[in-house]
Amino acid sequence: MEGKKGKRGKKGKRDLYRAPLVPLVLLGLKGHRASLEYPAFLGAMLWGLQDPQDPLGHKALQAHKAQQPAVVHLQGQETTIQVREDLSEGILRNWKMVSIHHRVFKMHSRSGELEVLLDGVYFIYSQVYYLNFTDIASYEVMVDSNPFLRCTCSLETGQRKFNTCYTAGVSLLRAGQRISIRIVYEDTLISMTNHTTFLGSVRLGEAPSAGQN
Amino acid sequence: MEGKKGKRGKKGKRDLYRAPLVPLVLLGLKGHRASLEYPAFLGAMLWGLQDPQDPLGHKALQAHKAQQPAVVHLQGQETTIQVREDLSEGILRNWKMVSIHHRVFKMHSRSGELEVLLDGVYFIYSQVYYLNFTDIASYEVMVDSNPFLRCTCSLETGQRKFNTCYTAGVSLLRAGQRISIRIVYEDTLISMTNHTTFLGSVRLGEAPSAGQN
Amino acid sequence: MEGKKGKRGKKGKRDLYRAPLVPLVLLGLKGHRASLEYPAFLGAMLWGLQDPQDPLGHKALQAHKAQQPAVVHLQGQETTIQVREDLSEGILRNWKMVSIHHRVFKMHSRSGELEVLLDGVYFIYSQVYYLNFTDIASYEVMVDSNPFLRCTCSLETGQRKFNTCYTAGVSLLRAGQRISIRIVYEDTLISMTNHTTFLGSVRLGEAPSAGQN
């Protein structure tokens, strides 16, 4: 059963190379058994935008392409993070690219930052899984060095706790701006299991023309 | 079983060619006073996609139709669920279709699964209202038999608790894949009141061309 | 200052009819140091829809405009709210318009209601930051006088707590309907800091033709 799924996935991926537009880069998540199933399939979600050399011709094709949304979904890499010891300035870095639209998003693995390559209106969403915290746990969705959204949990002290914290919002971003997740308190323990800690974005469309000079 | 799913998916797509344009079916939720107000209005949200046999003619109409997003929003049916006794494998089933785009989504009421009929990039969101739980409560948004997102709350033991847990994310789905909500722990008590427990999705657009043969 | 904002809003709308396409009005949030950075940039997100007097001409330009999504993002105004004393009927009012698409959304500052000016399918999201509450804290996303979504937290009594509660969903809205946030319990204390308490929406597209007589 899983095998069948796998085949369908592969066939689909091969077809991508024949397609004229929508260039595709395969992530090639390897080695992880889990990622050979569903996430591997998702791994095929790396594709491009329209050809900027032919911006007005082939309108039908364009319309088709226009319907291919630019999205990204990053997942935790199955590690446990002790903020104080493992992170510089609290920025989460251990992301695995499950899907990414390479013409619109660029992952900076070392810094943990997700750069947008096009001006636009973006929906940004994220979730962090707090494994244990003494009093309060909080993270911020940052745009460059400014907080955009904050997600906070507070619980009884002295007890082992498990809580996911989800937040999301819409923001105008300019090309070159970078999204990241900053854990606010140093004594927080984060579980970066793939279904519980993630960061994603959808480019909803063009920004107003202000900066489109 | 997987084979069947595949076929059903294709059949669904073929059906699209026969239908005229944007057909509309009213849900007609009746009998519930509450649903005569806002939800009944939402009940009108059942409509179709564009006719692929006329892909380039009637551009204005097409443009209009293209702007009709494919969405679904399911709400709990005002029941209280004791997972151990009421659910098979923890899958929530008691959904009421508040809005559903019938050409893109198909509800399987008996199993609680929401099937997508078209390949595409989907935003999936959900919320569950935990009424009471001893230690930890958790649910997973499943795609077929694989977890995609997980939402977790943990609280003091021995006390009556009330907590909603929301999560959401973007995923590539192929026609025939099914979304469901699985409660992880058997001792969880769920309140499926309509504004607190829900499952929804938005088809953001085309998938990369893999499956568009 | 509020008055100024109101005037600017009206001027903005009138300008839209004169401007060619995609007219842009800069908010120019002034005086606040913080808003000179990121929020001031977001302040540019006030723009129009397509010109209804030329609905079919200039298709390429139209396609461009069609890609400009109608969004709104409101943030708390850095105040702390004691529901019982500060709010009438629990409706949050202290919103600052970080971004708003003036042809689609209209803020009613006095009542705290966000009116939609066009029929359509809307994604509505919100988050509230509960600063302290005795037992349970809950808010509802209202559409007119009907609850659409509810977000609930419950914690130990007698302790200072900090929790953000996020919820979101998709709904069909008709022109004239109003979105608001209603705090359910009077003894709740809300922190309307800008990154923790917010309300936003994205118009996903046209409503089905049912009510488009």
| β-pair partners for C36 | none
Tell whether C11 is covered by a domain.
Answer: no
Q: In the predicted model, what is the mean pLDDT of residues C8-31?
A: 30
pLDDT in tens, C81-96: 998 888 888 999 989 9
Of the ranges A27-31, B141-145, C7-11, C138-142, which one carries the lowest mean pLDDT score? A27-31
User: Whole-model pTM above 0.80?
Assistant: no
Residue A111 at interface with chain C, using a CB cutoff of 8 Å: no
Residue A131 structural domain? 67-205
SS3 B6: helix
Q: Do C22 and A149 touch (CB under 8 A)?
A: no
Q: Do C169 and B196 touch (CB under 8 A)?
A: no
Tell whether B211 is covered by a domain.
Answer: no
Chains that touch C (3 or more CB pairs under 8 A): A, B
- pLDDT > 50? residue C51: no
Q: Do B38 and C146 touch (CB under 8 A)?
A: yes
Please tell me the predicted confidence (pLDDT) of residue C17. 31
What's the whole-number average pLDDT of chain B? 73
Sort out which chain C residues have CB atoms less than 8 A from A172's CB and list them.
Answer: 41-42, 44-45, 99
- Could you tell me which chain C residue has the CA closest to the CA of A58? C60
Distance, in Å, from the CA atom of B160 to the CA atom of B158, rounded to the nearest integer, reads 7
Q: Do C44 and A146 touch (CB under 8 A)?
A: no
Show pLDDT as tens, one digit a residue, over chain A (213 residues): 333 333 333 333 333 333 232 222 222 223 333 222 333 233 333 333 333 443 343 444 455 556 789 999 999 998 899 988 888 889 999 899 999 999 999 999 999 999 999 999 999 999 999 986 667 899 999 999 999 999 998 766 556 678 999 999 999 999 999 999 999 998 889 999 999 999 999 999 998 764 333
Sort out which chain C residues have CB atoms less than 8 A from B45's CB and list them.
Answer: 121, 172, 207-208
Q: In the predicted model, what is the mean pLDDT of residues B143-158?
A: 86
B198 contacts B72 by C-beta, under 8 angstroms: no
Residue B69 at interface with chain C, using a CB cutoff of 8 Å: yes
C149 contacts B200 by C-beta, under 8 angstroms: no
Q: Which of B157, B164, B192, B204 would best serve as a mutation to test chain C binding (most C beta carbons within 10 A)?
A: B164
Tell whether A186 is covered by a domain.
Answer: yes
Percent of chain B with pLDDT over 90: 49
Q: In what order do the strands lie in the sheet with B136-143?
A: B105-108, B113-116, B178-183, B136-143, B146-154
Please tell me the predicted confidence (pLDDT) of residue C63. 52
Higher pLDDT, residue A149 or C132:
A149
Please tell me the predicted confidence (pLDDT) of residue C64. 52
Lookup result for tokens 């037992």: C135
Give the ipTM. 0.74
Q: What angle do CA B34, B39, B44 make, to 5 degrees?
A: 140
Classify each residue of C41-79 as buried b or exposed e, where b means 16 or more C-beta atoms within 10 Å of its C-beta: bbbbbbbbbbbeeeeeeeeeebebbbebbbbbbbbbeee
Please tell me the predicted confidence (pLDDT) of residue A107. 97
Distance, in Å, from the CA atom of A47 to the CA atom of A203, rounded to the nearest integer, reads 14
Residue A64 at interface with chain B, using a CB cutoff of 8 Å: yes
SS3 B18: helix
Alpha-helical runs (H) found in chain C: 2-18, 38-42, 59-66, 83-86
- Per the structure, the count of domains in chain B is 1
Smallest Cα distance from C11 to chain B, Å: 29
| Nearest partner of B107 among B139, B147, B72, judged by Cα | B72
Residue A89 at interface with chain C, using a CB cutoff of 8 Å: no
Residues 44-63 (A) with a CB less than 8 A from some CB of C: 56, 62-63
Compare CB distances from A153 to C22, C73, C163 and report the shortest one's residue. Answer: C163
C54 contacts C20 by C-beta, under 8 angstroms: no
Please tell me the predicted confidence (pLDDT) of residue B136. 84
Compare CB distances from C67 to A66, A140, A151 and report the shortest one's residue. Answer: A66
Tell whether B171 is covered by a domain.
Answer: yes
Tell whether B54 is covered by a domain.
Answer: no
SS3 B210: helix
Q: Do C140 and B195 touch (CB under 8 A)?
A: yes
All residues at 6 or more sequence positions from B99 whose CB lies less than 8 Å from its CB, including other chains: B42, B43, B45, B46, B71, B72, B73, C170, C171, C172
Distance, in Å, from the CA atom of A59 to the CA atom of A61, rounded to the nearest integer, reads 5
Please tell me the predicted confidence (pLDDT) of residue A3. 36
Q: In the predicted model, what is the mean pLDDT of residues B5-29?
A: 31
Smallest Cα distance from B205 to chain A, Å: 5
Distance, in Å, from the CA atom of B106 to the CA atom of B114, rounded to the nearest integer, reads 6
B204 contacts A72 by C-beta, under 8 angstroms: no
DSSP β-ladder status, A95-100 and B136-143: unpaired
CATH of the domain at A175: 2.60.120.40
Tell whether B142 is covered by a domain.
Answer: yes
Q: In the predicted model, what is the mean pLDDT of residues C166-175?
A: 97
Please tell me the predicted confidence (pLDDT) of residue B63. 52
Q: Which two tokens stand for residue B190?
A: 């769920």
What's the whole-number average pLDDT of chain C? 73
Tell whether B48 is covered by a domain.
Answer: no
Tell whether C126 is covered by a domain.
Answer: yes
A93 contacts A114 by C-beta, under 8 angstroms: no
Tell me the torsion sign for CA atoms A14, B115, C166, B83: negative
- Could you tell me which chain B residue has the CA closest to the CA of C167? B166
SS3 B30: coil
Q: Do B163 and C152 touch (CB under 8 A)?
A: yes
